[in-house]
Amino acid sequence: MDDDLLANFLAGIFGSIVILIGLLVVFRIIGLTGVISGMLAGAGISAFIIGFALKDIGENFLAGIILAFKRPFKIGDIVDISGIRGQVLSLNLRDTQIKTLDGKDVFIPNSILIKNPLINFTIDGYLRYDFMVGLDYGSDYMGAMSIIDSALRGIPGILEERKKVTVRVHEMAESTLNIEINFWVDTLDDSIGDLDIKSTAILNVLTSLEKAGFNLPAKIIELKTHKGDSLKTS
């Protein structure tokens, strides 16, 4: 089976069934058929008691079945579940194992995955990144946007044919005209990290704008005196 996640999950279920059938066959061979009949007779009450006591395990088991067949993620996908972000390692009868970006192994009960929003960053192979650049008012805005667009071309990892790089005005802030830059990366390409691509993009844009003489100011605060009085300085 191509889907390792579903294959491992089904293997666990069928393995448990085979063990159960094997035990029943062994009991029959050694002459404990009466014991089996008694066990089956009391199965109704026992199932109720055990089911009530282990309702959380049963809930996680059913949630695991839904996840295995619905397949909102596969092994190796980067997901975010209730604020926990990492790579999917495995799905078993009770929980899903996630390896966080800082190396921690987190085991999340399957029922949580069913009840809460799940974000999959790599399911279709595309992921968008963005950042802002603030231009000084009075600058050559169109020229700056052209420089930004050129600075993003040719950077390894940024998609240019399947997805477009966009440079547009985001807002007129207090001190700057904010330019929003969007670009896409291929999440299935492991040759270079997404954060490395974004870092290179930001540095290329800033370096190109500074070389072209554009001012990238921080927040500017304008001070005015009361009734035009002169400002005293010590």
| pLDDT band of 141, cuts 50, 70, 90 | very high
Domain shared by 18 and 59, yes or no = yes
Cβ-based neighbour number of residue 87 at 10 Å:
17
Domain shared by 13 and 31, yes or no = yes
Q: In total, how many domains does the chain have?
A: 2
Range of lowest pLDDT (52-61, 102-111, 155-164, 176-185): 52-61
- pTM of the predicted protein model: 0.65
CB 157 within 8 A of CB 188: no
| Structural domain includes residue 177 | yes
Q: DSSP 3-state assignment of 61?
A: helix
The residues facing 171 across adjacent strands are 178
pLDDT tens-digit map of 186-214: 988 878 888 899 999 999 999 999 999 99
Residue 130 has pLDDT above 90, yes or no: yes
Distances (CA, A) of 86 to 42, 68, 157, 192: 45, 19, 21, 17
Say what percent of the chain tops pLDDT 70.
Answer: 79
Domain shared by 108 and 193, yes or no = no
pLDDT tens-digit map of 77-114: 889 988 889 999 988 778 889 999 889 999 998 888 88
More confident residue, 123 or 142: 142
Domain shared by 107 and 132, yes or no = no
pLDDT of residue 204: 94
| pLDDT band of 226, cuts 50, 70, 90 | low
Name the average pLDDT for the chain: 81
| Structural domain includes residue 226 | no
Residue type, 16: S
Q: For the chain, what percentages of helix, strand and coil (3-state, to nearest 5) are there? A: 45, 25, 35
Cβ-based neighbour number of residue 144 at 10 Å:
22
Determine the length of the chain: 234
| Structural domain includes residue 228 | no
Across residues 169-181, what is the average pLDDT?
91
Determine the Cα–Cα distance for residues 88 and 100; give it in Å rounded to an integer: 9
pLDDT of residue 4: 62
Q: DSSP 3-state assignment of 99?
A: strand
Domain shared by 104 and 149, yes or no = no
Residue 54 has pLDDT above 70, yes or no: no
Residue 178 has pLDDT above 70, yes or no: yes
Across residues 177-186, what is the average pLDDT?
94
Domain shared by 45 and 81, yes or no = yes
pLDDT of residue 203: 95
